[in-house]
Amino acid sequence: MCGIIGYNGIQDPKGILLDGLKKLEYRGYDSAGIAILENNKTLVFRSEGKINQLETKLSTKKFNGSLGIGHTRWATHGAPTENNAHPHQVGAVTLVHNGIIENYLEHKSHLEKSNAVFKSDTDTEILAHLFNQAIKLGLSLKEACLKILPTLKGSYAFVALNDNQPDQMIGVANGAPLIVGLTKNENYLASDVQAILNRTNKVIYLKDGQIALCKKGEVEIFTPEGTLLKPEIKTLHWTADQMEKSGYRHYMLKEIHEQSQAIANTISGNIDPTSETIQIPELKKLQDKLKNLNRISIVACGTARHAGLVGKYYLEKFARVSTDVDFGSEFRYRQPVLEKNSLTLLISQSGETADTLAALRESRVHEVPALSICNVRESSLARESDIVLYTNAGPEIGVASTKAFTTQLTFLYMFAVQLGQIRGVISPEYAKELTNDLMHLPFLVDKTLRLEKQIEEIALNFQDNPFFFYMGRDNQYPIALESALKLKEISYAHAEGYPAGELKHGPIALIDRQAAVIVLATQNTSPKTFHEAGKSDNILLEKILSNLQQVKARGGQILSVGTEGDTVFSKESKYFIGLPKASWAINPILSTIPMQLLAYHIASLRGTDVDKPRNLAKSVTVE
C-alpha cells in the first residue's frame, strides 16, 4: 500500500513525480503529495483525494530544483486528510514512507519528552522527527539513517531529503519494496518498476535493510551497517507501452482482453515438444521432494486465494495430493501443522502481500519448501521462495485482478498435471490429452471474449439489482466466489458466492424478485477426461439444476453460464451465456471471463471508478 517515487536528476521534477504517482496510484489513492528541493529549501504540496486533485493544485507552479519525492497514500495510521498526507516535513527533513513503523508510539513518547510537536496522526511523522534530531546534531542523511534504522520495528520503505544536502536523496527498503532506477544523469527511487518504466529499464532491487544513497548521476548502496555494496543492475522485462490503456476506457477492460495472450505467454516454455506434455523446467529442482509429497498448503489472499481454491480441485484430482487452502491472514496465527513431506504453495500477483509473505516465512521456520506462483519478478515473494513459477501476465494495473487470476489458474493446471506425472498418478496418454486441452485454451479464451456484446446487454438489465448471488459446484464454486468478489470490488453491489449445495443452508432466505442469481453450469465435453478424472461436473449438473429451480420458484432472476449447445439451463433461465465446449479443468478458466465482463459493465453503468475502486489497494503490504 502507498506508492513512493523519488527523482534526482537534471529536470524539473514536478512532471516526473506526478507521472510516477499516477502509475503508482493503484497502490493507494486517498491522498497524495510531492516535495521539491530548490534553493536549499524543500517545498511541500499535498492534497486529499486522487492524484488529479494534486495535479490541479500544482498546475501553475514551476520549479528550479531537480530533486524531489512524491507519495500516494492508502491510510493506515490517521484519516485520509491533507494533514496526514505525505511528504511529512520536520525542520530540514522531508520524508515519504510506505508500510508501518510498529513501535512508533514508543518513539513518539520519547520525542514528546524532548518537546517535539506532531502535526499529523501518522507513524511516518516520527521518522521525520528522528531524522531531524540526527541532522540537527550535524549528521548527514546517511549517518542519520544508520543511527535510526536499528531503532525501528516493522516493515517499511522510505525516502528522505535534507535541505542541507541538496544533491542527495536517501531510500531504505525493509519488508516493503523500493527500487532504484538508473540513467546516465538521473536516478529514481520507486515502490515498483511501473512508476519508472517509461524512464529507464535499468534497475537495482534493494534487499531488506539496504540503503540507497542517490547523488547526482551516482548511486551508492549500503548494508544496514553502512558497508558499501556492489549492486546487481538488472534489465527489466516489461516495457513502457504495456503500461498504456491502448484505447480501452479502463485498464481493467484492457487486461480482461489481454487474457488470451497472457495465458499463451504463461504456457510458453512449459511444454516439452518431444513428449507433448507439460514440463515446467523449474520443477526439476524439487523433483524428489515432489514425488514423495503428502500434503500441499496453498496460501494466498483475495483473488489469488480463489485461484488456490481451484488449484485444490486440480491438485487433488490430477496429482492425488491432499491440499488445503488458507487465507494468508489466518495461516500463521493458527499454528499450522507443517509436516516434513509437505509443500507450501504461495500465490500472489504482486509478490508483496504482507500476509502471504508472512506465510512463506512461517513455512521457512518449519523447513518446508516454498513454491510460489507470482507475476512480478524480483518481488519479495519471488526472492524468498525456493522455486518461483512466473505467470507472464505482464503488468496488471486495474485494482481488480483479472489476467493475473486466469494465468494463476493456468499455472496451477500445469503444476497439477506435471505433479500427477511425477507421482505416477496419471498416464502419459492422459497427460498428453490434458496438455492438448491446455494448448487450445488461448483460442477458447479468445472465443469467450467475443461474447462481450451479449454480456453488456445482460449488464444493462442487471445494473440496478441490489443483490447478486453466484453459485457453482465443484471447481466452479471458487469461480462463484471470485465472480462475487469482482462485482463487489468495482460496483459496490452486495454480492455473495456460494457452493450451490449450500443454498438451502441459509442464503435461500435472501432470494426474492430483486435478486440476480448467477448459476455456473458448464458441461465437461471431454469424455475421456471425464472418465479418468473421476466424478465430474456432468453428474453435478443435475444437482445444480435443482438448485436453479429452487431459486426460480422464489422469483430470482437467473443468468446461467453454461456450454454452447445446452438445451436445459438456457430454457430454465432468463439469460444464458454459452461458453465454448471445454474439459472439466478448462471450464473454470473460461467461465471466469464473462463474470469479469459482467462485473466490469455493471460497474461502468453504475459510474464507479473501475480501475481505482474506493478503499481498495492493489497491493496490500500491511497486515
Does residue 501 contact residue 543 with C-beta atoms inside 8 Å? yes
- Tell me which of 31, 297, 401, 557 binds ligand G6P, using CB under 6 A: 401
Q: The C-alpha cell of 344 is what?
A: 507450501
Does residue 473 contact residue 524 with C-beta atoms inside 8 Å? no
Please tell me whether residue 616 binds ligand G6P under the rule CB under 6 A. yes
- Tell me which of 47, 124, 348, 557 binds ligand G6P, using CB under 6 A: 348
DSSP 8-class letter at 395: -
- In total, the chain counts a number of residues equal to 623
Does residue 2 contact residue 74 with C-beta atoms inside 8 Å? yes
Which of 144, 393 has the CB closer to ligand G6P?
A: 393
In the residue annotation, 2 being an active-site residue is answered as yes
- Least spacing, CB of residue 30 vs ligand G6P, in Å: 15
**How many angstroms separate the CA atoms of 151 and 83, rounded?**
26
- Least spacing, CB of residue 399 vs ligand G6P, in Å: 5
- Least spacing, CB of residue 374 vs ligand G6P, in Å: 8
In the residue annotation, 618 being an active-site residue is answered as yes
Q: What are the backbone dihedrals phi and psi of residue 467, each rounded to the nearest 5 degrees, phi first?
A: -140, 135
Catalytic-labelled residue, pool 2, 214, 301, 374: 2
- Tell me which of 18, 179, 304, 451 binds ligand G6P, using CB under 6 A: 304
Residue ranges in 354-393 that form contacts with ligand G6P under rule CB under 6 A: 356
Q: Which stretch binds ligand G6P (CB under 6 A): 8-16, 283-291, 398-406, 522-530?
A: 398-406
Dump the DSSP string for 301-316: -HHHHHHHHHHHHHII
Q: What DSSP element (H or E) covers 512? A: none
- Tell me which of 301, 458, 471, 558 binds ligand G6P, using CB under 6 A: 301
Please tell me whether residue 254 binds ligand G6P under the rule CB under 6 A. no
CA atoms within 13 A on the CB side of 455: 24
Please tell me whether residue 302 binds ligand G6P under the rule CB under 6 A. yes
Does residue 554 contact residue 512 with C-beta atoms inside 8 Å? yes
Which among 159, 153, 190, 173 is positioned nearest to 27, based on CA atoms?
A: 190
Q: Which residues contact 541 (CB under 8 A, 6 or more apart)?
A: 521, 523, 568
- Encoded amino acid at 14, one letter: K
- Tell me which of 342, 372, 619, 621 binds ligand G6P, using CB under 6 A: 619
174 forms beta bridges with: 156
Please tell me whether residue 2 binds ligand G6P under the rule CB under 6 A. no
- Least spacing, CB of residue 353 vs ligand G6P, in Å: 3
Which of 67, 397 has the CB closer to ligand G6P?
A: 397
Which of 254, 618 has the CB closer to ligand G6P?
A: 618
Which of 189, 301 has the CB closer to ligand G6P?
A: 301
Tell me the H-state helices in 450-476: 452-462
- Least spacing, CB of residue 622 vs ligand G6P, in Å: 11
Does residue 439 contact residue 267 with C-beta atoms inside 8 Å? yes
- Least spacing, CB of residue 253 vs ligand G6P, in Å: 16
- Tell me which of 303, 410, 435, 592 binds ligand G6P, using CB under 6 A: 303
**How many angstroms separate the CA atoms of 450 and 448, rounded?**
5
- Tell me which of 51, 169, 399, 419 binds ligand G6P, using CB under 6 A: 399
- Tell me which of 122, 162, 210, 353 binds ligand G6P, using CB under 6 A: 353
Q: Which residues contact 566 (CB under 8 A, 6 or more apart)?
A: 521, 523, 560, 576, 578
Which of 19, 396 has the CB closer to ligand G6P?
A: 396
The maximal CA–CA distance of the chain, rounded, in angstroms, is 80
- Least spacing, CB of residue 33 vs ligand G6P, in Å: 23
**How many angstroms separate the CA atoms of 36 and 245, rounded?**
29
- Least spacing, CB of residue 595 vs ligand G6P, in Å: 15
Q: Which stretch binds ligand G6P (CB under 6 A): 194-202, 360-368, 395-403, 424-432?
A: 395-403
Q: What are the backbone dihedrals phi and psi of residue 103, each rounded to the nearest 5 degrees, phi first?
A: -100, 35
Residue whose Cβ sits closest to ligand G6P: 302
Q: Which stretch binds ligand G6P (CB under 6 A): 79-87, 89-97, 296-304, 568-576?
A: 296-304
**How many angstroms separate the CA atoms of 216 and 214, rounded?**
7
Which of the residues are catalytic? Answer: 2, 618
Give residues in contact with ligand G6P (CB under 6 A): 301-304, 348-350, 353, 356, 399-401, 616, 618-620
